[in-house]
Amino acid sequence: MKKNTLLFIALATQLFTFAQTHQEKVQETVSKSEIEGHIYFLADDLLQGRKTGTAENKIAASYLANTLRGYGVKPNPQTGTYYQPVPMEEVSPTTPFQLSINGEEQKRKVVLEARRMSLKTKAIFLGYGMEEDYAGQNVREKIVIVKGGNKKANDARSAFSLRSEKRELALKAGAAGIIELIEADDETWSFIDRNFNATKVQLAETDSKEVKGKNNLAYVWIQDAFGGLAKTYEKEAPQVQIKLGGKSSKAINSQNVVGIVEGTDPLLKNEYVVFTAHYDHVGTGKANAKGDKIYNGARDNAVGVTTVLSMAENLAKYPTKRSAIFLLLTAEEEGLLGSQFFVENPIVPLQQIVYCINSDNGGYNDTSIATVVGLERTTASRMFKDAASAFNLIAKGDPAPEQGLFDRSDNVNFARKGIPAPTYSLGFTAFDAEILKYYHQPADEAESLDFDYLHQFFSAYVLSGRMITDSESTPFWTKGDKYEAEGKKLYNK
pLDDT band (50, 70, 90) for residue 134: very high
Q: What is the mean pLDDT of the chain?
A: 92
**pLDDT tens digits, 81-107:** 999 999 999 988 888 889 999 999 999
- Count the domains in the chain: 2
Helix axes of 451-470 and 381-390: crossing angle, nearest 10 degrees: 140
More confident residue, 158 or 71: 71
What's the mean pLDDT in 367-372?
A: 99
The answer, yes or no, to whether residue 248 has pLDDT greater than 90, is no
- Angle among Cα 351, 354, 358 to the nearest 5 degrees reads 120
Question: What range defines the domain where residue 260 resides?
Answer: 24-90+251-491
Kindly state whether residues 338 and 431 are assigned to the same domain.
yes
Q: Is residue 483 part of a domain?
A: yes
* Higher pLDDT, residue 202 or 265: 265
Strand order in the sheet with 177-182: 109-113, 218-223, 177-182, 143-147, 124-125
How far is the C-alpha of 315 from the C-alpha of 72, rounded, in Å?
10
Nearest in space to 420 (alpha carbons), one of 490, 362, 369: 490
Angle at 369 between CA 366 and CA 370, to 5 degrees: 115
Asked if residue 360 and residue 260 are part of one domain, the reply reads: yes
Q: Is residue 171 part of a domain?
A: yes
pLDDT band at 271 (very low <50, low <70, confident <90, very high): very high
Digit-coded pLDDT (tens) for 285-321: 999 999 999 999 999 999 999 999 999 999 999 999 9
- Do residues 289 and 198 both lie within one domain? no
Q: For a pLDDT cut of 70, what percent of the chain falls above it?
A: 94
Predicted confidence at residue 195, as pLDDT, reads 78
Q: Find, among 234, 268, 230, 276, the residue nearest to 422 by Cα.
A: 276
How is the beta sheet containing 239-244 ordered, strand by strand?
104-105, 97-101, 239-244, 117-122
Same domain, 83 and 164: no
Residues 169 and 109 in one domain: yes
Let me know whether 343 and 390 are in one domain.
yes
87: preceding bond cis by omega (within 30 degrees): no
- 281 - beta bridge partners? 51
Question: What are the backbone dihedrals phi and psi of residue 303, each rounded to the nearest 5 degrees, phi first?
Answer: -60, -50
According to DSSP, the residues that pair with 357 across neighbouring strands are 275
E strand or H helix at 127: none
Query: Domain of 161: which CATH number?
Result: 3.50.30.30
pLDDT band for position 13 (50/70/90)?
very low
Q: What is the pLDDT of residues 465-490, one digit of tens each?
A: 999 999 999 999 999 999 999 999 99
464 has a pLDDT exceeding 50: yes
Q: Are residues 65 and 127 in the same domain?
A: no
Grade residue 428 by pLDDT with cuts at 50, 70 and 90.
very high
Alpha carbon distance 182, 101 (integer Å): 15
Helix (H, G, I), strand (E, B) or coil at 77: coil
Residue 206 in this model has a pLDDT that exceeds 50: yes
Among residues 211, 253, 212, 464, which one has the least CA distance to residue 343? Answer: 211
